[in-house]
Structures are given as structure tokens and as C-alpha cells.
Structure 1
Amino acid sequence: MNPLLRLLVLATLLLGSGCASLSNAERDRAAGIAVQARSTVVDCDQPDRCALDSPLRALGGRAFAESHAGQPRHYATLLDEGEVSLVARLNLIRSATRSIDLQTYIFDKDDSARLVLDELQAAARRGVKVRVLIDQLSAISDLEILGALSGSHANFSLRVYNPTFGKARLNYFDYAASVVCCFRRFNQRMHNKLLVVDDALGVVGGRNYQDDYYDWDSEYNFRDRDVIVAGPEVREMAANFDAFWRAPRSVPAERLNDVGRTLLRQGVPAMPPADFRRPERVERVSEEANDPEFVRRTFVDTALPVASVQYVADLPRKHRRERASQPANGQHVTEPQLDALIASAQSEVLLQTPYLVLSKPAQQLFRTLRKREQAPRVVVSTNSLAATDNPIVYALSYKYKRRNLRELGFNIYEFKPFPLDAPVDYRNLLPAPLGSEVPPSQGKRSSLLGGSAAGSNARGSADNRASSGPRRGSADRNSASGRRRSTDGSEVERRVLRAETRPSFLGTKAVNKPLPVTRKGARMGLHAKSMVVDRRIGVVGTHNFDPRSENYNTEGAVIIDDPVFAEALAQSILRDIHPQNSWVVAPRAKPPVLSGLNYSVGKASEALPVLDFWPWRYATDYEFQPGPACPAPLKRQDPAFHTCYVAVGDFPEVNVGPKWLLVRMLTAFGAGLVPIL
């Protein structure tokens, strides 16, 4: 764009956005109003700040007590279930005696987010130092809430990372202006997700603070994963958080232009009262977070002593790069570590990512693995189009299925929108409170619920063979209380499926929402970011293994070198790729004639940056059909694969319509978007 024209467009957009900045004097006045209003009253004068007596918090103390110079001791617990992970967070916040650091990409104001926010403020009032750091792009956008938080208590601090135009809340003009003036900076987001309590326990994983991540949305929820780590490595998490907290791009909420105007106009507003959509559910998880026996059974008894723990995370300096083409010069931390782990694989890589779009260096890494004489098997768990919250990304994943299968050797499983064996309490998704309309028998587990025992033959004839039984290493409410879930196609599921589907709150634009599907009800989408190498090393974090994570976002992950933990994580991923939960992506059965011509034309079409319209793609999705001749799932390379699997189409369960057509158009014309996806 001509520089003069660019300047004129930017000026027009800035006028429309109303983004005139406060002067330094006005900003100082606003900050002074917030500071002056902060209460210094502390509810508790006890040395422990009246912290909840928690077996989980005690596990952190035990890890430090058992650690010696050169021999640190750690414990790790996987958090597969959404609501259980919320209970863990509440318990840890209530058990804090000194400090709480919370870092996240999204912080909403719905039931789960407001519950956590209220708990953080309560901790501050009893004397705990609370610091909350949220990325601006998906931060709390309610100026009344932000203004109230900025002046709530001397022990509570809130900062916003990389605020565009110094604002907390953006309008469409702001988005447009940011693309014109500062595209790269606007896209540099803090994607890290971290909760650190007393520098002793940390929670790392994919979950943000929004109902979708805790199985509390009645129409769309994420299948996600966190890990609780107890022990000395948590200090590295705290140090990384502190680096972000002190970064120039982390701005106190009261110093933002729109929050500052609110403070100058009306002073510190009162915190809007919590208006919980499902108060009985909030009360239930609150009680469970206070229940020491529940906490012990769910989080402590399932914790694994692990041999080696490393927290790797990017630092704010990653965002100093002006262009992705510039040398990283040590600015990237997470990506090189993960690449090295993949390169070290000898027998197997289990990779789980919601967005299967690879950068060129990542493609080369997997091609190198593929060329080995004894190439490791690569299994990928990702979203189907019907399950994903990001159809744009899926369109590019779809474009390169042939490459991923044939050239990179991937074995791909696409998560279903209505998985029959997901780690979720389906009754949580009902629009009405839990009640007598759910028969007691529906609380029983199916033969697969609860995951796979560590001794299962999951490495047999199929990647996705799982056995029943409780799992060590993974917090499972079912094993703790025996009162949850039904996935046997009975009344609970039918009741849920009567609800009308709506797109996730996360999709702020029509093109970036889940697509309409052929069934109604509460669907799920994969959001977990995990990896297992050789059943020896397990990784749980925020990195999506995509170009955006490599070039734009800051990310973090826990790497645990321990075969027992790695097996527990592997079983969790294998459960997700079981036929009840995922379709298999495989080459189509070859037609009797012209198969070679079809392959060649399809490959040439795929290579086109635009006009990739070839309709007969190399691969499609398949559904397992069990029977006497097909007693167990097969690998796609098995000669009997097409006997035991039936093709269900490229986009199973997706309604054909304008949005479906948009995905197809993005496949044809969207190759240039890959570097920012």
C-alpha cells in the first residue's frame, strides 16, 4: 500500500475508533484514584492468612521436604475433566498463604470466570498477594469490572498484556486500524496459561477462564488438559511469570485509556454483583473445593512421583522480533525444546493439537523422521471440521491431508463433535439443574469411562485400543465419587441433544465460529496441546505446534521425563482417538481405473496457492464398523482397513451451507494464511 494512502486509511480508522490517548497527567490522575481507593484492611491476622487446610497444598510442601540438593522431588497430576480442573483451581487459591500468580489468554465474566475472580479477591482480602496478568485481545472487556478491580485492594494487582492503542476493549475500527498500522505487534499475543500458588504448586495447560473450558457451557465445550505440578520446578514458573509481569507491554489496568477514563469520570465503580446462570452448580464445586477428602482422593491419591520435570516457556523478548524472517537469536524457548524432543524420538510420537497446520521447519522436521531407516510412528489427534472452533485453520489442515499422510507419515484421528467417551459430565451440560429427572442408573460409567489402565495393550494392533479402569496420574471425579456421567446413548444424552446448538463465545466473527452440524446438542471440540515421546517423555502446555505458536504467540509447557507419567498421558490421548471419540483419516480406496491420474492431479492442485478446487481428495474420514470379522480397530495401513471401516465423507456431521462453502473456498485460496494460523 502507498505510504500516504496507508496514513490516510489509518487516520480514518483511528477517528472511527475513538482511541485518543489520555495524557500522561490524566493517566497519573486515574492511577492515583485507583490506588487511593484500594482497601488495606486484611480479614485475617494469622500467619497462614487463614488459608484452607488442603491436602493438595500439603503435597507441595511434601515435595519440597523430600527434595535434596541435586535431587528435586516432584509430583504431577493430569487434569482431564473440565469441572475437576476448576475445583483444583479453587482449592489452590483458597489454600494460598503468601502469593497467587495467574496468567491467561482469555478471562471471561461468565460463571466459572467470575467464581475464580471472586476467589482471587477473597484471597487478597485475607492477606495473600494476588497478581493477575491477562492478554488484552481476550481480556475482561467490561470497563466497570476492570475499574472496580483496579481499586479493589492493595493486595490485588491486574495487568493487561500488549494492549492495542492502550485500551482494554476494542471495537471493529480498532481491529481494522491495528491491521493497517501494526499487524505484527497486534498478532503478538501472550498465550501462556499459568497458575502458581506460594511458588510451590503450579497448574499449566490449555484452559483459559471461561465456561467452555470447564464443561459448563450447555452447547459447546472444549476437551482440554492441564497438569498440576508440585515441587521446586514451580519456582521456574514463578520466575517466568515475573518476567512477563515486569515486561513493558504489561500495563496496569488503571493506566489503560478506557479504564482511566472510567476512573476519571466516576471514580472506582462498585464491582457488579455476580449473577450466576447456574448458582447450584457454583455452590456444588465450591463445596467440593472445600472438601478435604474429595480433594485428597481426586488430586493427591492420583498424583504421580515423577523423575524429571522441566518448565519451558517463552519470554516477552520473543515479541521484540519485527519480522518472522528475522533470526530468533535465542528469543524462542518453547519451540526449540519441543522440536528437540520430536527429533529424539526412536519409536513413537503421540501428538495432540486442535489445529493441525505446520510451518515449513516443522514439515522438514517430520520429513527427516520419516526418512530414517527405522522411522518412529507419528500419531496425531486433532479436530474434525464439525468439532473445531476455528474452521479457517481446519480449511488449511484439510488442504494438506495428502502431504501429512503420505509425505510425513502421520496417522491422523479427528475428534468427533459428539464423542461417546469424553471425560465430561454430560449432566453438567443440561440447561436445568441436576435433578430427579436423571435416573440414578445414568450416573454409572460405561465400560470405557475413566480411561485406560497403565497395563493395557494400547500398543497392539491399533493406536486407539484402550481398556477400562481407573487411571493413576489423572484426576478423575468418577473414581473419587462414583456418581457421574453417562455415555451409553440413554436418557441423559437424549435430553442434552434437544438443546439448540449455538457457536462458541470464543468465535468473535462469523467465519471463526463452529460450523452448523447435522445434530443438535452440546458438542465438544479438542483444545488440548500435549505430546508423548517413546512412552517416556510427556508434554502438557499451551503450544499448538502451529506457525502462530512458533512466530507470534508466547507459549509454555511442562516436560516430564518419566515413563509412568508418559504412559498415563498416552492413555489419555489414546482414549481421545478411540473410535467412539474420533474418526480415522485415511487414503480412499483406490478406484479400479484412473487412480494414478487422480492422485497426480490432486497433488498438483494441493501445491497451488490459489485455485485448489480439485474435488476428489486423496484422503477422507472413516468410521470403524465392529463385527465378527472386525473385532478391534485397525491401523490405516492394515490390508483389512477398508473392510472394517466405512467412509463418512470429508466433513462428517457438518451441514452443507454457506459456511461449509467458505471453508472450501479457504482451502482453494487460503494457503497464504498459513504463517499466521
Structure 2
Amino acid sequence: MLRGLTALLALTLSACASLSPAQRDRASAIAAAARSQQIDCAAADACAQASPLHALGGQALAASTPEQPRHYAVILDRGPDALLARINLIRSATHSLDLQTYIFDEDDAGKLVLDELLAAARRGVRVRLLLDQLAALRHIDTLAALSGVHVNFEVKLYNPVLHRARITYPRYVLAAACCWRRLNQRMHTKLLLADGQVGISGGRNYQDDYYDWDDEYNFRDRDVLVAGPVADVMGTDFEVFWSDRRSVPVERLADVGQRIIDDGVPALPPIEFERPQRAQAMRDAAADNAQIQERLVAHAIQVGAVRYISDTPDKHRENAENNALASDSLRNLITHSREEVMLQTPYLVLSKSAQQLFRGLHDRPDPPRVIVSTNSLAATDAFIAYALSYKYKRRYLREFGFNIYEYKPFPADAPIDIAATGASLPDLGLEGLVERDDRAHPNSVQGGGLAESRRGEGPDRNSVIYRQRYRQPLAREYAAIRYARRRSNEPVPLKRAGVRIGMHAKSMVIDERIGVIGTHNFDPRGDHYNTESAVVIDDPVFARALADSIRRDIAPANSWVIARRDKPPIFSGLEYSIAKISEHLPLFDLWPVRYATSYEFVPGPDCPSPLYRTDPGFRACYKPVGDFPEVNLGVKSLTTRIFTAFGAGLAPIL
């Protein structure tokens, strides 16, 4: 007992240990002295690569007036295109690059972007990198090396708990005990801004699985590139974050600073890619203006005014409930909808204010249709969040009138480049059988076709709970539960193997007139804890393009429909009443029969096209496929029901 208390005391003291002001100044001075001042280019434009993508910014600004701003917008649906746009913009920057993100990993995608940022700094571009502490790179040595790598390169971490850049599991427990609210206050805002003219914002972080580069699990995500006057607003917002006291230079944090004081600034090791040929192919593509034109610029949509709405660090002040600017703006858009709201979110866990909004919307005499695209249990990377969504399906369908579509883990027609993942899959001769995306990279197979064909191979043991290469617990959205038991919040095991796809896009379309692409999951975390941002474009052409993208995601090949299960032959009213009462219990929601289940579309002569769940012919064209289709039922099915029964208290942090 005494030994345990002694160990706990030692851990507490070491975890809370910080550098003195003098030590912080010393570490900063060492880092500053180590920074190279060599500039590889003497040209006024910093030897920037000519780019038709970057040129959109100048064209939009030239065509704009204060009364009539003009912009170009490019929806970045495909992961490789999203990475290509980032690399090309970094290379084309002439004076400044500002990058703000939640996750920045040290895998191939992260290393490639980091290497390109360093190259930009060395040719004379000012580079500022602002990362949330809980998901900022993997190694102290990397952060220490970056603190002194170049005079044009700066790195800050947002809201570092315990005065450290990295925290271990025990330190996380301590932080949760002493500083729970601050621990949960994360910077979820994501932005890349080049020269104050062209910006990218949306759902993607800097990690392989956001760009179709993971051989096990990838996200179906979405960003938007905007060029024009709104970039100035983005720059102002970045400055607010950068200058906030919560944004701390890495060399002034205890672990990084002590490393620098003890041994000086370490050298940044040479970049080594897990798949160097793929990284080189991306570099080559970024230098090819013909590809930039074809894959990106050709899809630019000319629009008028663009709004960038963003929470500021003021959201993390004490009693700052009125500073949720992003949440308030999005709710206001929904409130003024008339015909249809399309909502896409990976985690359907609604805050109380969002529930009140949608309940009021549904109670209108002529309510708008609400379409929700989200994850299934088989596709999600956060099964605890799914369990809370599963608990409230009756409420979502009956009281809010939602039409819910849950994404399949192996979608047959998704904008995913399976070939880019590097997965070792056999050549199955699918040429011509799988629909191709006209924007696909040559020789890539689209959708989940390869995975779909691998039936009968047994549960996907290598890519889920039994995986050898365990992901960091900091690699997902849910900071508050990310340090739970190692296997508690990974994707569930499936009945068959393949490269799994999970929904991560956060988008909205109002009346096919207003399109929104951003970072907000429309959940309690976004309302109360995370800073969020979104690009809002009031333009019917853009809105229809975004709506078409979401409609592709909810098509039968890619999603299941959630609808009420068939009523029992007897006592259906009693069963419904008991289930409703059970659902409202914060604990012990143990009623085994849920209101809704998943349905699959069955086309035929009498069912030529998909129907909404409220259509009279729905049950004739759809068959029930169970509550958790594709899932290898077992422990995770049981734990999903356990969290459904006992996890309602987690909703505020989910």
C-alpha cells in the first residue's frame, strides 16, 4: 500500500513538473540559436512553383469588389486529390503558409507534408504550424528538432495540459482528475492557408487514413478549397489562434524544453517513407500542372460571397457558453430551411440544443425533409459514439423525422482509391466491373469492389481488434475516451476482410441552395468543448454539387437505410411504450428490442429506384438485414448494447 502511494506521489510530482521561467527562456534561446538562416532562393517569389491552383486566388481577387466578392471553390472528395492540392499549394506559396490542425501524425502522409513545409521555409516562405497538443506528432525529438530547424519555421501546440507536449497514459489519468474541462477543450479547427489567397478547410487531418493511404482503414472525408477574399478572414482567424496564450511554442514545454537543455536541438532525421514509391508519385503529380488542371482546377466552381465561420479560443474561457460561434451559425442555417436539410456526420450524437432544434423543425405544419448520412457500427472508428446513436434511433426517426443512412464498411461506389492504400489484395480481374470515377488516378480501382469480392475469408482479424500495428489512442476525434482500454474504441471485427471505409465528412446542404463543409460533427463536443470551423457558400451550383456527393454516399451501394422494424403481431403498443420508457432512462436501458433496424434495397421490376422510409412502398422494396449488418457478432455487439444501456452519461463528451 505504501509503495503504491509512493509511486502515485512520484508520478504526480513528475507529471506536474514544469520548467521554470528561466529554463523556458534558456530552451527558447538554444532553439533560436540553432535555427538555420540559410535561404536557398534569392528570388522575390521564393522560387515558388507556378500553379494554376494557386492562380485561382489571384484571379478571384482581381474579379472581386467589396460589394461583389468573387471566389473559386473546389470540393475535395477524393483523398489523393486532397493531398495533391495541399502539396501543390505548399510548393506554390511565395511568402506565407499557415497550417492549423487537430491531428498531425508521423506516417507517410504526415512526413510528406512536413517535408514540403520545411522545403518551403528553406526557400524563404514563412511557415507556421499550429497543432492541438493531444494529437501533435509522435516523438519529443521530432518536436525538439522542429523547434530549431529554421528561422522561417515555427511550431506551437494548442492548450497543452500538464505543460507538456506529450502525455502518457498515467499522465492522462492525472490530467483527467485535475483538469477535466481543460483536457477536453481541444482545437478541432483545420486550415491550410497559402499567401492569404487560397485556403483548404474541412474534415481531414494529416494522417494516412485521410488520404486513402492506409492499407486497413480509410476515411471517406471531404474538404473544400476556396480562393478569393475570404482567405483574408481565414488569415485573421489563424492569427487569433496563433497569438492566444493557449498556443505555446514547443520549446517552452517541459518535455521538449528539457530535451533541448540537456542535449541541445537534435537533428531532424532524414525522411523515410513506408512506401517511398507512392510518396514520390505524389511529389511528381504535384509538379505536373496538367494533372493539377485536370484533377483540381477543372472542377472549380465560380461562386460569389463565401463565409468562413470559426470559433475562437474565447470558447475555452470560463463561462464562455456564448462563444460557440460555429454551432450557433449552423443551427441558424437549419432553422431557416424550408424544403430539405442534408446532414453528414460520422458520429450521430446530438447535443440537447440540436435535439430541440430538430424537434421544433419536425413539429412545423410543413416540415423540411431531413436526410442524415452517418456511420454504421461496421464502418465507424468510434463504436462507443455509435452506441449512443443506436440508443436514440427511435427519437431520431419518430420525433425528429430523420431519414438516416448508415455507411457500409465496403461501399461499392465511393470516391476511394483502393489502389493507393497499398493493401495486398489479389488481382481479381474487376476491370470494367467496378464503376470508375473520372477523376481517379490511372490504374486505381474505385469503391469497395476489391473488398466486396473477398467473401468467405472469415473475420477481419488483422485490421481490427487483433491488429498487430495498433494505432495511437490519440488518432481519432474523441479525446476524452481515447485513453480508455487499448481495444475499447477501435473498429469492430467484421465477417469478411478488406480495406474498410469509415465516414468522416462533416457537411450540410440547405434547400440545395447553401452548402457547408467544415469540421463540426454536430455533437456536444462541437457545441461545448472543441473549436470548430466551416466554409458556408450560398450558391445553388455549389450546393447541388455537394448534395450530389452526399446522395452518392447514401445510395444503396454505399449505405443501409434505418427504419422502424416490423411491429410484433401482438402487444405492439405495449412493447413500444416499454422501449420508449427504457430509452429515457439515463442508466439501465436494458430493453432488448430496439425501435429501428437496418434495411437493404432490393431492386426489381416493381422497385426500380430507392425510396424514402416513409414511402408506402418501402417495405416491399427493402429487406431488414439486422441491427449490426456485416459485424462479426460477439464481444463488441455485447459492449455496444452495454454502452447503449449505461453510456448516456458520456453524451456530453461525445
TM range (shorter): over 0.9
Out of 440, 463, 468, which is 1:501 matched to? 463
1:278-427 equivalence runs, <5 A = 278-321=275-318, 326=319, 328-329=321-322, 331-427=323-419
Distance in 1 between residues matched to 2:87 and 2:14, nearest whole Å: 38
How many residues get paired? 633
Counterpart in the other structure of 2:203: 206
Cα displacement string for residues 517-536 of structure 1 (whole angstroms, at most 9, x for unaligned residues): 11112101100000000000
Out of 140, 148, 158, which is 1:161 matched to? 158
Distance in 1 between residues matched to 2:329 and 2:193, nearest whole Å: 22
- Counterpart residue type for residue 646 of structure 1: K
Counterpart in the other structure of 1:663: 640
Counterpart in the other structure of 2:93: 96
Out of 552, 571, 577, which is 1:594 matched to? 571
**Is 2:37 the counterpart of 1:60?**
no
- Counterpart residue type for residue 137 of structure 1: L
1:86-165 equivalence runs, <5 A = 86-165=83-162
- Counterpart residue type for residue 540 of structure 1: I
Q: Indicate if the aligned counterparts of 2:39 and 2:124 stay in contact, CA closer than 8 A.
A: yes
Structure 1 pair 600–315 and aligned structure 2 pair: CA distance change class (3 A): same
Deviation at 1:18, TM superposition (A): 3.9
Q: Tell me the TM-score normalised to structure 2 length.
A: 0.93
Q: Tell me the TM-score normalised to structure 1 length.
A: 0.90
- Counterpart residue type for residue 328 of structure 1: E
Distance in 2 between residues matched to 1:289 and 1:484, nearest whole Å: 18
Cα displacement string for residues 268-302 of structure 1 (whole angstroms, at most 9, x for unaligned residues): 11112222111111011111111001101111111
Counterpart in the other structure of 2:479: none
Q: Indicate if the aligned counterparts of 1:516 and 1:654 stay in contact, CA closer than 8 A.
A: yes
Residue identity over aligned pairs, in percent, reads 56
Cα displacement string for residues 93-121 of structure 1 (whole angstroms, at most 9, x for unaligned residues): 00000100000000000000000000000
Out of 644, 647, 653, which is 2:630 matched to? 653
Q: Indicate if the aligned counterparts of 1:390 and 1:512 stay in contact, CA closer than 8 A.
A: yes
Distance in 2 between residues matched to 1:30 and 1:42, nearest whole Å: 24
Out of 538, 542, 552, which is 1:565 matched to? 542
Counterpart in the other structure of 1:537: 514
Q: Indicate if the aligned counterparts of 1:191 and 1:555 stay in contact, CA closer than 8 A.
A: yes
SS of residue in 1 equivalent to 2:179: helix
Counterpart in the other structure of 2:445: 485
Q: Report the aligned-residue RMSD.
A: 2.1
Q: Indicate if the aligned counterparts of 1:40 and 1:153 stay in contact, CA closer than 8 A.
A: yes
Out of 189, 193, 197, which is 1:192 matched to? 189
Which consecutive unaligned segments of at least 5 residues does structure 1 have? 1-7, 451-469, 471-476
Q: Which moved more, 1:661-670 or 1:93-102?
A: 661-670
Deviation at 1:555, TM superposition (A): 0.3
Deviation at 1:658, TM superposition (A): 2.1
Structure 1 pair 608–174 and aligned structure 2 pair: CA distance change class (3 A): same
Structure 1 pair 192–493 and aligned structure 2 pair: CA distance change class (3 A): farther
Distance in 2 between residues matched to 1:233 and 1:10, nearest whole Å: 53
Counterpart in the other structure of 2:584: 607
Counterpart in the other structure of 1:513: 490
Q: Indicate if the aligned counterparts of 2:416 and 2:446 stay in contact, CA closer than 8 A.
A: no
Distance in 2 between residues matched to 1:165 and 1:42, nearest whole Å: 36
Structure 1 pair 418–292 and aligned structure 2 pair: CA distance change class (3 A): same
Counterpart in the other structure of 1:585: 562
Q: Indicate if the aligned counterparts of 2:415 and 2:447 stay in contact, CA closer than 8 A.
A: no
Cα displacement string for residues 388-425 of structure 1 (whole angstroms, at most 9, x for unaligned residues): 11111111100000000000000000001111111011
Q: Indicate if the aligned counterparts of 1:445 and 1:485 stay in contact, CA closer than 8 A.
A: no
Distance in 2 between residues matched to 1:56 and 1:497, nearest whole Å: 44
Q: Indicate if the aligned counterparts of 1:354 and 1:526 stay in contact, CA closer than 8 A.
A: yes
Deviation at 1:595, TM superposition (A): 1.2
Cα displacement string for residues 439-491 of structure 1 (whole angstroms, at most 9, x for unaligned residues): 8x7565845x44xxxxxxxxxxxxxxxxxxx6xxxxxx32xx65432458469
Cα displacement string for residues 125-150 of structure 1 (whole angstroms, at most 9, x for unaligned residues): 00000000000011113011111100
Distance in 1 between residues matched to 2:124 and 2:320, nearest whole Å: 45
Counterpart in the other structure of 2:213: 216
Distance in 1 between residues matched to 2:341 and 2:536, nearest whole Å: 14
Distance in 2 between residues matched to 1:250 and 1:378, nearest whole Å: 39
Which consecutive unaligned segments of at least 5 residues does structure 2 have? 477-481
Q: Indicate if the aligned counterparts of 1:13 and 1:173 stay in contact, CA closer than 8 A.
A: no
Structure 1 pair 383–9 and aligned structure 2 pair: CA distance change class (3 A): farther
Q: Indicate if the aligned counterparts of 1:430 and 1:496 stay in contact, CA closer than 8 A.
A: no
Cα displacement string for residues 58-85 of structure 1 (whole angstroms, at most 9, x for unaligned residues): 1111011111231111000000001110
**Is 2:59 the counterpart of 1:82?**
no
Cα displacement string for residues 534-568 of structure 1 (whole angstroms, at most 9, x for unaligned residues): 00000000000000000000000000000000000
Counterpart in the other structure of 2:612: 635
Q: Indicate if the aligned counterparts of 1:10 and 1:177 stay in contact, CA closer than 8 A.
A: no
Structure 1 pair 77–192 and aligned structure 2 pair: CA distance change class (3 A): same
Distance in 2 between residues matched to 1:549 and 1:15, nearest whole Å: 31
Structure 1 pair 249–77 and aligned structure 2 pair: CA distance change class (3 A): same
Q: Indicate if the aligned counterparts of 1:144 and 1:272 stay in contact, CA closer than 8 A.
A: no
Deviation at 1:357, TM superposition (A): 0.8
- Counterpart residue type for residue 58 of structure 1: A
Distance in 1 between residues matched to 2:21 and 2:52, nearest whole Å: 48
Distance in 2 between residues matched to 1:445 and 1:96, nearest whole Å: 41
Distance in 1 between residues matched to 2:344 and 2:214, nearest whole Å: 23
Distance in 2 between residues matched to 1:551 and 1:424, nearest whole Å: 32
SS of residue in 2 equivalent to 1:511: coil
Deviation at 1:371, TM superposition (A): 1.1
Structure 1 pair 573–172 and aligned structure 2 pair: CA distance change class (3 A): same
Distance in 1 between residues matched to 2:25 and 2:324, nearest whole Å: 35
Deviation at 1:328, TM superposition (A): 2.5
Distance in 2 between residues matched to 1:176 and 1:566, nearest whole Å: 44
Counterpart in the other structure of 1:458: none
Distance in 1 between residues matched to 2:451 and 2:238, nearest whole Å: 46
Q: Indicate if the aligned counterparts of 2:412 and 2:448 stay in contact, CA closer than 8 A.
A: yes
Q: Indicate if the aligned counterparts of 1:396 and 1:666 stay in contact, CA closer than 8 A.
A: yes
Out of 69, 91, 94, which is 1:72 matched to? 69
Deviation at 1:660, TM superposition (A): 2.3
SS of residue in 1 equivalent to 2:133: strand
- Counterpart residue type for residue 75 of structure 2: L
Distance in 2 between residues matched to 1:350 and 1:208, nearest whole Å: 23
Deviation at 1:250, TM superposition (A): 0.3
Distance in 2 between residues matched to 1:492 and 1:140, nearest whole Å: 34
- Counterpart residue type for residue 604 of structure 1: I
SS of residue in 1 equivalent to 2:111: helix
Distance in 1 between residues matched to 2:165 and 2:85, nearest whole Å: 29
- Counterpart residue type for residue 197 of structure 1: A
SS of residue in 2 equivalent to 1:312: strand
**Is 2:594 the counterpart of 1:617?**
yes
Q: Indicate if the aligned counterparts of 1:443 and 1:486 stay in contact, CA closer than 8 A.
A: no
Counterpart in the other structure of 1:474: none
Distance in 1 between residues matched to 2:389 and 2:380, nearest whole Å: 11
- Counterpart residue type for residue 69 of structure 1: P
